[in-house]
Structure formats: C-alpha cells, structure tokens
Amino acid sequence: MYNITLIPGDGIGPEVTKAMKQVVKASGVDINWEEVIAGEAVIEEYSTPLPDYVLDSVRKNKVAIKGPVTTPVGKGFRSVNVALRKELNLYANVRPVKTFKGVKSRYDNIDLTIVRENTEGLYAGIEHKVGDYAGETIKIITRPASERIVEFACRYTRENGYKRLTGVHKANIMKISDGLFLDVFNQVAKDNGILRKADGASCDLYSDDVIVDAAAMNLVIRPEEFDVMVMPNLYGDILSDLASGLVGGLGMIPSANIGDDCAVFEAVHGSAPEIAGKNIANPTAIIQSAVMMLRHIGEMESADKIEKSLKEVFAEGKLVTADLGGNASTSEFADELCRKISAL
Ligand code: NAI
C-alpha cells in the first residue's frame, strides 16, 4: 500500500482525477490517496491558495499527483503550480510527447520529451511596477540550476535510449542569461559524453542547440527529428503546449515535476473552465501522468498495463472524447480503459 498525495484541483481537475484513480485501481496497485485541497476554494479560509498542509502532505509522502488549478490572470495570489514547484524544489519538469496510433493528428511517429527548468527563468516571481509607467519581470538564470537541469536531461536521454539532446535558448539576444544557459548546456553535455557531431559524436547519441523561435518552427515542420529538448522555464511552458498540438492536443500530455526529495505528477493542461462539470474532458493527460508516477514508484507492470490499454482504446477509436473528435464522456472513456486493463 502506497500513501500518495492527491490534489484534485479545480475546473476539470476533479473529473479527470476521479477517472485516473479508477484506472490506477483497475491496474492493481493499492494506493491510499491522501486528498488535500489547494486553489481558490481554500483562499478565504487560509489566506493562500497553497496552505502548509498541502506542502506537508507532499513532503511526507514524497509523491503527489495533482489536477489543474486555476490561476486568476494579472491579479491576486501567485500561481499554486509555480509556488509548489519552487517550495518543493521540483527543478525538472519532464513532458513526454508521443503519438498514439488512431488519434487524429497531422503527424505520425512523434516521440520527443521536453525537459523544462522549473524553478527560475522568467517564473522566478521577481516582478514590480515602475509607478504607472511600466512593469518589470526579472529573468534569473543561474549556473547551478542550469547545470542541474542539463545533467538531468543528459541522464534522461541515455536512460530512455534517445539519440539527440537539444538545448533551446535565445542566447543571440539575451547574451548574459541565455548565454550562460547555453555555455552550461555545451559543457555539461560534453562532460556527460554527449558530444556535438562536429566534435566527433556518432549519430546514435549527440547534442546540438537551437534558438527558441527556430525550435518552434522546426517543431511544426519536422517534429519527428527531435528527441529530448532541454530549456529554460518559459520556453518549456510554451513549446510543450505547441508540442501537445502535434499529438492530439492538451488532453494528451502528461508531466512529472521531479526534485531530489519529492515528485509531483500532473497533466500539462489547465483547468479548462469552459468544459468543467460536463463530464466531457479528456482524462488521458492525467492518466498518463499516473503512468509516469507508477514507474517512478517502481510499479512497472501496472504502468505498462495502463499504457497498453490506452493504445488499444485509441487504436479502436470507438470511445474517444470530444477534443479528439469523438463523443465519449470522461467516465465512458475511463470505464472502457478499465475493461481493457482487466482483460489483460
Ligand atoms: P487550459 O489548458 O485549461 O485550456 C486550453 C484549451 O484546451 C481549452 O480549449 C480547453 O478546453 C482545452 N483542454 C484543456 N485540457 C483539456 C482536456 N483534458 N480535455 C479536453 N480539452 C481540454 O488552458 P487555459 O484556458 O489557458 O487555462 C485555464 C486555467 O488553468 C487558468 O487559470 C490557468 O492559469 C490554469 N492552468 C493551470 C495549470 C496547472 O494547474 N498545471 C496549467 C495551465 C493552466
């Protein structure tokens, strides 16, 4: 029996996390979900959307899975997501983007992972007004945080059998901050034996770098050429939404926020308030996040079962949600997935 923190979130969060719990149970893993509420619902009582009991629960259990949490635009409290990542030092945000056969998309055979630095960059939370005249947000890129994320990406590239590790940056314009990130990328990749082709790397394992705007274009034109892409915070936020569009949209993409002590798994998508409460959201992203979580805790067999069943459901294409062009509800999709899992 595992103790795992569950933050249902708001908007579509409670619906998709309910489906996820059902699927994990069907896969045969016994989990005691410690459910804690964060977000707008608790602000009045605790004067913060991220009360200490949430952090305490994750620190105690070491593993959490969370639904999306709404962040009001331009006012009020800091994003729960950003605060959680900073407070728990969850420095690596890992977002695998893979094609499922049967899911309608203009692209086939996408298999790439975005590794996003999760604690600094433009999300360091250092902002101020200059009277009524201006707003300033300070971008912080440090050597230790850059080294740590590139080290992580090097390990991830090797462990998952990928061939290409790409550093994404804007060092041509932000010469000091992104320039530092690029220097660190080159050095750490080299130290880890992931060389550039010009330095004698083989085609089986090599590194290169791309400016973020060119990366955006190349992701649209030839996404199948990318494997692992490592980048500062904001670029990772934007490019992972772009990449989700290559494989069916935001309803599909999972993520893991990894630190030295704790890990928090979540869908890449937000709370989608316009479809909340209608039982039509696609729960695949949070279910795939649970697959990552199960692998993290060593439950490989259950993770494989869920993944195999997802492949079958999509290949059949009969029961898919509206975002993928079908008309199955969230719960019908989850029920079908559970049937497949039980039949394995
Ligand atoms: P969003 O991801 O909620 O929605 C973008 C579009 O994708 C919408 O059309 C939505 O209906 C669709 N969509 C998203 N997830 C879906 C799913 N599972 N099934 C079917 N369709 C889905 O992004 P948006 O609208 O920018 O943000 C809404 C709220 O969520 C904001 O308050 C934002 O701050 C918050 N947010 C929270 C995140 C988190 O908790 N990790 C991440 C991103 C946004």
Segment 235-272, tens digit of pLDDT: 999 999 999 999 999 999 999 999 999 999 999 999 99
In order of 128, 264, 297, 329, 336, the CA distances from 102 in angstroms are 48, 29, 30, 18, 16
Q: How far is the CA of 205 from the centre of ligand 1 (A)?
A: 35
For ligand 1, atom 7, the nearest C-alpha belongs to: 250
Mean pLDDT score of the chain: 96
107 is catalytic: no
175 is catalytic: no
Stronger pLDDT, 76 or 66, i.e. the higher one: 66
Alpha-carbon distance 293 to 266, whole Å?
9
Q: How far is the CA of 275 from the centre of ligand 1 (A)?
A: 10
Instruction: Give the residue from 66, 32, 29 showing the smallest Cα distance to 263.
Output: 66
- For 196, phi then psi, to 5°, come to -80, 155
Q: Does the pLDDT value for residue 74 go beyond 80?
A: no
Q: What share of residues in the chain are helix, strand, coil (percent, to 5)? A: 45, 20, 35
Segment 282-299 shows an average pLDDT of 98
Catalytically annotated residue among 213, 261, 278, 308: 213
75 is catalytic: no
**Parallel, antiparallel, or unpaired for β 2-7 and 63-66?**
parallel
Q: Which domains does the chain have, with CATH numbers?
A: 1-90+253-343 (3.40.718.10), 106-246 (3.40.718.10)
Percent of the chain topping pLDDT 90: 90
pLDDT confidence of residue 71 = 83
List of E strands, the chain:
2-7, 31-35, 63-66, 92-98, 111-117, 127-130, 134-137, 164-169, 206-211, 228-231, 254-258, 263-267
Indicate the top mutation candidate among 15, 43, 271, 284 to test ligand 1's pocket, ranked by most ligand atoms within 8 A of CB.
271
- Find the residues whose C-beta lies inside 6 A of ligand 1: 12, 16, 68-71, 81, 250-251, 266, 269-272, 274-275, 281-282, 285, 323
pLDDT digits (tens, 9 = 90+) for 173-209: 999 999 999 999 999 999 999 999 999 988 899 999 9
Q: Does the pLDDT value for residue 111 go beyond 80?
A: yes
pTM, 2 dp = 0.95
pLDDT confidence of residue 43 = 87
213 is catalytic: yes
